[in-house]
Structure 1
Amino acid sequence: MNLKEWRQLWFDGPEKEYLWRKYNDNRKVYFAAYYKDNDTILSNIERGMETFVRWEKKLLNIDLETQARKERRLSAGRVAMKAFVEALATNTMTVEADFVILSIDFEGDIKYGVKEFGFAKLDTRDVIGNALTPSPEMITGHNYALSDERMHGFMFGKTSKTDEVELATVIRDVLHVPDEQSNEYSTSTERRLVLVGHALQNELRILDGNGVDVANLHTVLGTMDTCNSFGRGTTLKNLLASLHVPLPLNRYSKVVSLHNAGNDAHYTLRALLALLHERSQHEHSAAGQIEILHDLAMAPLPVWPPVRDPRVRQAQEDDEEGFLNMAVLHD
């Protein structure tokens, strides 16, 4: 018996007068007795368990579907990267290898707020068949800060100020890469993307929280996660160190450029290139332009721009191994 049926007995049941006498016309006492009736308790427990089982199945199905989508995206990302490496090995562009590698990173989270959003991208068209010496400028990027104190520290480009209201628009603009030169490999007006991140699931949750569902973006071929796609579940700092990707150190041998969204996105892209080069050595040796992956990953870091504060300038001049993060001493 559910509570509605119990209530109807009080008002319309054939034994309502008996119930009134039994509970001294106290409706509250009668309703309270509902939760003390053994049959009712067992019935409620059974219904509760049935509801729990239904929700458990529903949540399990959602989790399975989410995991399946994740695996499909990662699988598609691996296929795209394999095509990219093979195109480098043969010096031949293919439809499968024609895309933009887009590395993204957020500082902060949905619960406590996003502090920064940064990205770095590499166009495979700029790499495959390029007879020139590879330039670190092939990797471009930008950083967006949601507060004034986050405006400093981005090494690889400029930082723009934005806010929570505009962030979703900024993200959509970044994920929209126009095709400025349609060719035999692409007839679309937008470039296809492979999204890259370190522990990418965190970034995808923030994208979703800003109304951007990767599953609904037809231009996203797949994803790559440098945290676990290559069997190296570790921090970005440790991954970069294990791959010998250069990181600037201050005079105290401390890495000061991480945990800036734009920098982390750039370093993640370099880590991906280093991992691809490492893997390709077993399959393609030094064929074609495979070494360009290594050259881009290990390219010299940009010179930190001059600053006005004489304390910082002097510190940078004294530091022969790296630079001091502007944000550390900026007052």
Structure 2
Amino acid sequence: MTNVIYRAWPAYRQGLVLEEDDNYEEPLIQAAYNNDFNAFYHAYRARLRRIREEWQETFLADGMACFTAWQAKLTRIMMHRERQAPYLHRGLQCLEDLASALSTGLPPSREYLLVSIDIEGNMTAGINALGISSLDTQQIFNDQERLTVHDENYAFTSYRRHSLFSPTTRITTEMLPQVLYNLLNSHPNIILVGHTLWTTEVCMMGRYGSAIESLPNVIGTVDVGLLLSPVAGLLKLGKLILAHDLPFRPGSLHCAGNDAHYTLQLMLAVMLKKLDHPDGTPKSESRIEAVRELVFRPLPTRRAMESSESDDWEQHMDDNLGLGLFAEHLLSAADGASEAAEDLVMSGSGPQISTIRAISDLLTSWSRTAVRQHAQLGSSYRM
């Protein structure tokens, strides 16, 4: 009671009249209540009670809406985990089967086609590009063949990032479901590989009519980000590439074909690192060295990489995820030096090219060291 009077008295003194419309001109107290404080107080208290009741109703309604949304989100997360669990399990079984086969030199229990997929875009804006890199495991155990990765890069008209590993094929949105279906039904045992695979690529495939359940030949998945998360945390692809000393060219990320190729190399590098641990198992050194040669094979000659103001340049390095501004600036400088060397090649100015490329390689080497020290990656990786 006292608190209500205490709050009502300043309003009475200032001539405030309790009305629904807050924009009216304040009339005098004498005109509104005939200078009667008791009348003003009862009006104030009734209004306060009405506001409190409305606030309680709104609070309860908002709380229930928030709880319903939270419950729906948890349900989606649980359904998503249940959906991906069998695929991830079969993908890990495939890696263990391959690792065991490499150790003994005998072919695995079944032949697999490792298909690394990368989609540039998002659920709101749609797909910009699709990259596919595939490796038939039958090649690994064929002594007569040099291991090769089959790369494909598909892009839409507005997308202008160029692939280092394959020419770019222009397609339309209407063609995408058929392209995905053809790519992912070319082998009876396909293992889909990606980085943040289930949160990006699988969702985008489902949006464009190629839900993973509708692809019977896709028997398992390997998410390199999840595979390394117990050791390295959820790092971006570029940081994982540098941390594993894989061949890498600054400025080549966020092209779907390049990212798919890098992701496949990264998965094979993780498998090799597991085989490097002495466990007493006899190793088939020739086959392991063949895979190692593929993983650390020098990059092909750089194509002329076009850029324009309309390109969707994503942030390659995120300081908050652990790389640090120092390594980020080193990579940016290395990218600039590499592009300067390419400009000199195009202009025919040869004497300075070797020096600029040496500077680019040095900056990239420094950035690798910075990433390894900051990420603090362990020497063993869980399969």
Q: Scaled by the length of structure 1, what TM-score is found?
A: 0.69
- Structure 2 residue 232 is the aligned partner of structure 1 residue 234: no
Query: 2:176 maps to which residue?
Result: 167
Instruction: Report the CA distance shift for 1:314/1:149 in structure 2 as closer, same or farther (over 3 A).
Output: farther
* Bigger proportion of residues as helix: 2
Deviation string 1:268-322 (CA, Å, 9 cap, x unpaired) is 1111111110012224574342233322110121123589x98652479654449
Q: Contact 1:99/1:123 (CA < 8 Å) preserved in 2? A: yes
Which residue is equivalent to 2:39?
none
CA distance, structure 2, for counterparts of residue 247 and residue 310 of structure 1: 20
Deviations 1:190-212 (A, max 9, x none): 43111111111211111111111
C-alpha displacement of 1:132: 3.8
Identify the residue that residue 143 of structure 2 maps to in structure 1.
131
Partner Cα separation in structure 1 for residue 252 and residue 133 of structure 2 = 15
Aligned match of 1:204: 202
Selected match of 2:88 from 49, 61, 74: 74
1:259 partner SS: coil
Q: What is the aligned residue count?
A: 264
Q: Distance in 1 between matches of 2:144 and 2:77?
A: 47
Alpha carbons of structure 1 residues 108 and 149: separation in structure 2 relative to 1, 3 Å: closer
Contact residue 162 and residue 303 of structure 2 kept, 8 A: no
Residue of structure 1 equivalent to 2:274 = 279
> CA 1:156/1:316 → structure 2, altered by over 3 Å: closer, same or farther?
farther
One-letter amino acid of the structure 1 residue matched with residue 105 of structure 2:
N
CA contact (8 A) 2:128 2:159 kept: no
- Percent sequence identity is 25
* Structure 2 match to 1:144: 154
TM-score (norm 2): 0.60
8 A contact 1:134–1:295 mirrored in 2: no
Q: Do the aligned residues in 2 keep the contact of 1:277 with 1:291 (CA within 8 Å)?
A: no
Aligned to 1:246: 247
- Aligned: 1:158 with 2:158: no
Given that 1:194 and 1:222 are in contact with CA atoms closer than 8 Å, whether structure 2 keeps it comes out as: yes
Moved more, 49-58 or 212-221: 49-58
Report which of the two structures shows the higher radius of gyration computed on alpha carbons: 2
3-state secondary structure, aligned to 1:228: helix
2:253 maps to what in 1? 258
1:50-107 CA deviation, whole Å, 9 max, x = no partner? 89877765654442121122222212111011111212222222333x1100000011
Distance 1:110 1:59, change over 3 A: closer
Q: Which moved more, 1:43-52 or 1:263-272?
A: 43-52
Counterpart CA distance in 2 for 1:139 and 1:281 is 23
| Partner secondary structure for residue 228 of structure 2 | coil
Quick check: 2:139–2:145 contact (8 Å CA) kept in 1?
no
Aligned to 1:115: 128
Distance change >3 Å, CA 110–CA 285, structure 1 → 2: farther
Query: Where does structure 1 lack aligned partners over 5 or more consecutive residues?
Result: 1-35, 178-189, 249-254, 325-331
Q: Is the 8 A contact 1:120 1:269 kept in 2?
A: yes
Q: Give the Cα separation in 2 of the matches to 1:306 and 1:146.
A: 19
Whether the aligned pair in 2 keeps the contact of 1:116 and 1:144 (CA below 8 Å) is yes
Work out whether residues 129 and 159 of structure 2, in 8 Å CA contact, stay in contact via their aligned partners in 1.
no
Instruction: Rate the CA distance shift 1:77–1:149 in 2: closer, same or farther, 3 A.
Output: closer
- 1:306–1:313 Cα contact (<8 Å) kept: no
Taking structure 1 as reference, are residues 306 and 218 closer, same or farther at Cα in structure 2, changes over 3 Å only? closer
Q: 2:302 aligns with which of 277, 301, 304?
A: 304
- 8 Å contact kept, 1:119–1:141: yes
Between the aligned partners of 1:84 and 1:125, the Cα distance in structure 2 is 11
In structure 2, give the amino acid aligned to 1:126.
Answer: Q
SS at match of 1:212: coil
Q: Which amino acid aligns with 2:134?
A: K
Per the alignment, do residues 154 and 47 of structure 1 end up closer, same or farther by CA in structure 2, a change over 3 Å counting? closer
1:304 and 1:47, CA in 2 relative to 1: closer, same or farther beyond 3 A?
closer
